[in-house]
């Protein structure tokens, strides 16, 4: 059975920024990211070997950098092991189900790591703030959630929960960037605009959620998201520190020689539709 995540003895309060560190160069960021991604590959091999089950939850302010971290985690590993779950709004049928029911099929089997890009904590955040659920529904969720997560941990799941925090100034800057950049406009939704307007409603919901669901067996870890590069590196490094893994020794790989052609000749007049060489 997997051990619960060790809760740190000290943890900064949500929204409290540390002293500003010097800007991390792109070269240094890429160097450190490559090192961490190599460790993620080791985690992947060990999780398959040992049959571990891991759930990582990414929650936080809109535009705080959750998607950027998930992208860096998954870009060098197998999607068969690292599986991203980002559920759309519930259907009418799902709305009639027990709330946690739609999330249960997405929990990992042995040898899998599931990354939730938002999760069941929607009920404590956007659903509550935007009035998609009643106050009674949200209160009941906060009461029941720790017991459900404890059952997950007791079943052998390693549960890691991250909350990404961002300052008002930086969130506004990122939203304006999405508005003014045609490559990013798809990342801007009506819910994002409402989250910008209702900053303090979300703050109150966050505070109550953290107070109710920050437990010894499934603690919250706060990621300071104003500096994207540092947030990505810090989150990945921390995730590596709380997933127990060992490096699996592999036999040296030697590239085999190609077979002889045995009379094969490449056709000269291929009737293929070639992509034009525009660059």
**Is the CB of residue 206 less than 8 Å from the CB of residue 14?**
yes
Instruction: Give the count of beta carbons closer than 10 Å to the beta carbon of residue 112.
Output: 18
pLDDT higher than threshold 80 for residue 13: no
CA atoms of 251 and 248, how far apart (whole Å): 10
When pLDDT is averaged across residues 7-31 and rounded to a whole number, the result is 68
Please name every residue paired with 220 in a beta bridge, in sequence order, or none if there are none: 161
pLDDT higher than threshold 60 for residue 106: yes
Tens of pLDDT, residues 156-183: 999 999 999 999 999 999 999 999 998 9
Alpha carbons within 13 angstroms on the beta-carbon side of residue 23 total: 3
**Is the CB of residue 251 less than 8 Å from the CB of residue 245?**
no
Q: For residue 250, give the 3-state DSSP assignment.
A: coil
CA atoms of 249 and 182, how far apart (whole Å): 46
**pTM, entire model:** 0.88
Which H or E run includes 83? strand 82-85
Taken as a whole, the chain contains a residue count of 279
pLDDT higher than threshold 50 for residue 10: no
Q: Which domains does the chain have, with CATH numbers?
A: 26-242 (3.40.50.300)
Higher pLDDT, 114 or 19: 114
**Is the CB of residue 83 less than 8 Å from the CB of residue 76?**
no
Percent of the chain with pLDDT over 70: 93
Q: Which residues contact 68 (CB under 8 A, 6 or more apart)?
A: 228, 231, 232
Helices (H), the chain: 26-50, 66-74, 92-95, 126-129, 135-154, 168-180, 190-197, 199-213, 228-242
pLDDT higher than threshold 60 for residue 9: no
pLDDT higher than threshold 70 for residue 4: no
Please name every residue paired with 59 in a beta bridge, in sequence order, or none if there are none: 163
pLDDT higher than threshold 80 for residue 37: yes
Q: Which residues contact 69 (CB under 8 A, 6 or more apart)?
A: 58, 164, 223, 231, 232, 235, 236
198-213 burial code (b ≥16 CB/10 A, e <16): eeeebeebbeebbeeb
* Predicted pLDDT at 222: 98
Instruction: Give the count of beta carbons closer than 10 Å to the beta carbon of residue 248.
Output: 11
User: Nearest Cα to 128, choosing from 136, 120, 138?
Assistant: 138
**Is the CB of residue 58 less than 8 Å from the CB of residue 85?**
no
Confidence of residue 5 (pLDDT cuts 50, 70, 90): low
pLDDT higher than threshold 60 for residue 253: yes
Confidence of residue 2 (pLDDT cuts 50, 70, 90): very low
* Predicted pLDDT at 1: 43
CA atoms of 228 and 266, how far apart (whole Å): 49
């Amino acid at each position: 059975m997997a051990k619960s995540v060790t809760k740190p003895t000290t943890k900064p309060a949500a929204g409290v920024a540390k002293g500003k560190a010097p800007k991390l160069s792109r070269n240094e960021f890429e160097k450190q990211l490559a090192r961490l991604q190599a460790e993620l590959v080791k985690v992947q091999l060990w999780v398959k070997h040992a049959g571990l089950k891991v759930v990582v939850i990414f929650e936080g302010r809109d535009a705080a950098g959750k998607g950027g971290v998930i992208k860096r985690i998954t870009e060098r590993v197998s999607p068969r092991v690292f599986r991203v779950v980002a559920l759309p709004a519930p259907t009418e049928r799902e709305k009639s189900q027990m709330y946690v029911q739609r999330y249960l099929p997405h929990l990992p089997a042995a040898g899998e790591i599931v990354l939730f890009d938002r999760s069941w904590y929607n009920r404590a955040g956007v659903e509550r703030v935007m009035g998609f659920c009643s106050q009674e529904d949200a209160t009941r969720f906060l009461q029941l959630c720790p017991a459900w997560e404890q059952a997950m941990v007791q079943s052998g799941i390693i549960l890691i929960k991250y909350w990404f925090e961002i300052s008002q100034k930086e969130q506004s800057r990122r939203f304006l960037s999405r508005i003014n950049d045609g490559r990013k406009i798809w990342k801007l939704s009506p819910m994002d605009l409402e989250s910008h307007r209702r900053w303090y409603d979300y703050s109150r919901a966050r505070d109550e959620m953290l107070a109710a669901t920050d437990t010894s067996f499934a603690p919250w870890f706060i990621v300071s998201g104003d500096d994207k590069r540092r947030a990505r590196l810090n989150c990945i490094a921390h995730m590596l520190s709380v997933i127990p893994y060992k490096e699996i020794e592999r036999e040296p790989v030697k590239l085999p020689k190609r077979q002889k052609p045995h009379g094969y000749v490449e056709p000269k007049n291929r009737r293929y539709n070639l992509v034009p060489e525009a660059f």
